[in-house]
Structure 1
Amino acid sequence: MTTTEFDTSLPSIRQLQELLRQKTLVEWKLVNGDSLIGKLAWQDHNCVCIVDSTDRQITIFKQAIAYYQAK
Protein backbone atom coordinates (compact mmCIF):
# COMPACT_ATOMS: atom_id res chain seq x y z
CA MET A 1 0.00 0.00 0.00
CA THR A 2 1.32 3.43 -0.90
CA THR A 3 0.43 6.63 0.83
CA THR A 4 -0.28 9.93 -0.86
CA GLU A 5 0.37 12.03 2.22
CA PHE A 6 3.69 13.68 2.98
CA ASP A 7 5.75 12.50 5.91
CA THR A 8 5.54 15.72 7.91
CA SER A 9 8.12 14.42 10.35
CA LEU A 10 10.70 15.29 7.68
CA PRO A 11 12.06 18.82 8.14
CA SER A 12 12.35 19.39 4.38
CA ILE A 13 8.63 18.74 3.89
CA ARG A 14 7.70 21.03 6.78
CA GLN A 15 10.00 23.78 5.48
CA LEU A 16 8.52 23.68 1.98
CA GLN A 17 4.98 23.68 3.38
CA GLU A 18 5.82 26.76 5.47
CA LEU A 19 7.25 28.55 2.40
CA LEU A 20 4.03 27.70 0.57
CA ARG A 21 1.79 28.94 3.39
CA GLN A 22 3.70 32.20 3.79
CA LYS A 23 3.99 32.78 0.01
CA THR A 24 7.70 33.41 0.50
CA LEU A 25 9.86 34.43 -2.46
CA VAL A 26 12.52 31.76 -2.92
CA GLU A 27 15.67 31.39 -5.02
CA TRP A 28 15.96 27.88 -6.46
CA LYS A 29 19.45 26.84 -7.55
CA LEU A 30 19.42 23.84 -9.88
CA VAL A 31 22.12 21.21 -10.29
CA ASN A 32 22.77 22.42 -13.86
CA GLY A 33 23.70 25.87 -12.50
CA ASP A 34 20.47 27.64 -13.44
CA SER A 35 18.85 29.87 -10.87
CA LEU A 36 15.12 30.58 -10.65
CA ILE A 37 13.24 32.95 -8.36
CA GLY A 38 9.61 32.39 -7.51
CA LYS A 39 7.02 31.43 -4.96
CA LEU A 40 6.12 27.82 -4.30
CA ALA A 41 2.70 26.97 -5.77
CA TRP A 42 2.57 23.27 -4.85
CA GLN A 43 4.69 20.23 -4.18
CA ASP A 44 4.22 16.51 -4.57
CA HIS A 45 6.52 13.58 -3.93
CA ASN A 46 8.52 14.19 -7.13
CA CYS A 47 8.21 17.84 -8.07
CA VAL A 48 7.67 21.40 -6.95
CA CYS A 49 5.91 24.06 -8.97
CA ILE A 50 6.97 27.67 -8.64
CA VAL A 51 5.38 30.83 -9.98
CA ASP A 52 7.80 33.48 -11.19
CA SER A 53 7.35 37.26 -11.35
CA THR A 54 5.51 37.00 -14.69
CA ASP A 55 3.02 34.46 -13.24
CA ARG A 56 4.63 31.69 -15.30
CA GLN A 57 4.35 28.27 -13.63
CA ILE A 58 7.54 26.20 -13.67
CA THR A 59 7.56 22.57 -12.55
CA ILE A 60 10.91 21.31 -11.25
CA PHE A 61 11.81 17.74 -10.38
CA LYS A 62 13.11 17.68 -6.80
CA GLN A 63 16.17 15.75 -8.01
CA ALA A 64 17.14 18.81 -10.10
CA ILE A 65 17.30 21.15 -7.07
CA ALA A 66 20.79 21.76 -5.66
CA TYR A 67 19.46 24.10 -2.96
CA TYR A 68 16.87 26.76 -2.26
CA GLN A 69 16.85 29.80 -0.01
CA ALA A 70 14.26 32.33 1.02
CA LYS A 71 14.80 35.80 -0.43
Structure 2
Amino acid sequence: METSNLDSSLPGVRLLQNWVRQRTPLRVRFPGGEQIEGCLDWQDPEFLALRPANAQQPVLIRRSALETIQPLD
Protein backbone atom coordinates (compact mmCIF):
# COMPACT_ATOMS: atom_id res chain seq x y z
CA MET A 1 0.00 0.00 0.00
CA GLU A 2 1.48 3.32 -1.06
CA THR A 3 1.02 6.22 1.32
CA SER A 4 1.90 9.85 0.96
CA ASN A 5 2.31 12.73 3.36
CA LEU A 6 -0.54 15.10 4.07
CA ASP A 7 -0.19 18.31 2.09
CA SER A 8 -0.71 21.03 4.69
CA SER A 9 -1.07 23.62 1.91
CA LEU A 10 -4.50 22.13 1.10
CA PRO A 11 -7.35 23.98 2.82
CA GLY A 12 -9.22 20.76 3.66
CA VAL A 13 -6.19 19.33 5.48
CA ARG A 14 -5.74 22.59 7.42
CA LEU A 15 -9.44 22.71 8.36
CA LEU A 16 -9.43 19.12 9.60
CA GLN A 17 -6.28 19.80 11.64
CA ASN A 18 -7.96 22.86 13.16
CA TRP A 19 -10.92 20.66 14.15
CA VAL A 20 -8.48 18.20 15.77
CA ARG A 21 -6.86 20.99 17.82
CA GLN A 22 -10.18 22.53 18.86
CA ARG A 23 -11.87 19.16 19.57
CA THR A 24 -14.78 20.28 17.37
CA PRO A 25 -17.76 17.88 17.44
CA LEU A 26 -18.31 16.56 13.91
CA ARG A 27 -20.83 14.57 11.91
CA VAL A 28 -19.40 12.24 9.26
CA ARG A 29 -21.83 11.06 6.59
CA PHE A 30 -21.32 8.05 4.32
CA PRO A 31 -22.87 7.28 0.94
CA GLY A 32 -26.25 5.72 1.67
CA GLY A 33 -26.99 8.08 4.57
CA GLU A 34 -25.29 6.34 7.50
CA GLN A 35 -23.60 8.82 9.82
CA ILE A 36 -21.44 8.92 12.93
CA GLU A 37 -20.72 11.79 15.32
CA GLY A 38 -17.67 12.48 17.43
CA CYS A 39 -14.42 14.43 17.66
CA LEU A 40 -11.50 13.92 15.33
CA ASP A 41 -8.41 12.59 17.14
CA TRP A 42 -6.03 12.56 14.17
CA GLN A 43 -5.74 12.28 10.40
CA ASP A 44 -3.28 10.63 8.08
CA PRO A 45 -3.26 10.31 4.29
CA GLU A 46 -5.62 7.32 4.35
CA PHE A 47 -7.68 7.43 7.57
CA LEU A 48 -9.46 9.74 9.98
CA ALA A 49 -9.74 8.69 13.63
CA LEU A 50 -13.15 9.82 14.93
CA ARG A 51 -13.91 9.28 18.62
CA PRO A 52 -17.64 9.06 19.38
CA ALA A 53 -18.80 10.59 22.68
CA ASN A 54 -17.90 8.42 25.70
CA ALA A 55 -15.87 5.98 23.55
CA GLN A 56 -12.48 4.82 24.77
CA GLN A 57 -11.11 4.14 21.28
CA PRO A 58 -11.59 6.03 18.02
CA VAL A 59 -13.27 4.62 14.93
CA LEU A 60 -10.95 4.55 11.91
CA ILE A 61 -12.65 5.84 8.76
CA ARG A 62 -11.09 5.51 5.33
CA ARG A 63 -11.09 8.91 3.65
CA SER A 64 -12.36 7.43 0.38
CA ALA A 65 -15.46 6.07 2.18
CA LEU A 66 -16.72 9.52 3.23
CA GLU A 67 -19.36 11.67 1.67
CA THR A 68 -19.31 14.73 3.97
CA ILE A 69 -17.79 15.97 7.23
CA GLN A 70 -19.44 18.88 9.02
CA PRO A 71 -19.13 20.54 12.42
CA LEU A 72 -22.08 20.18 14.78
CA ASP A 73 -21.80 23.72 16.21
Class of the TM-score when normalised by the shorter of the 2 chains: 0.7 to 0.9
Task: Deviation per CA, 1:2-50: give whole Å up to 9, x if none.
Answer: 9864211101100100000000000000123210000001110000011
How much is the aligned-residue C-alpha RMSD, in angstroms? 1.7
Q: Is the 8 A contact 2:31 2:67 kept in 1?
A: yes
Q: Choose between structure 1 and 2: higher strand proportion.
A: 1
Contact 2:31 2:66 in 1 (8 A): yes
| TM-score with structure 1 setting the length | 0.88
How many equivalent residue pairs?
A: 70
Please identify runs of 4+ aligned residues in structure 1 that moved more than 4 A.
Answer: none
Query: What SS is found at the alignment partner of 1:40?
Result: strand
Q: In the alignment, which residue of structure 1 is the partner of 2:37?
A: 37
Structure 1 residues not aligned, in runs of 5+:
none
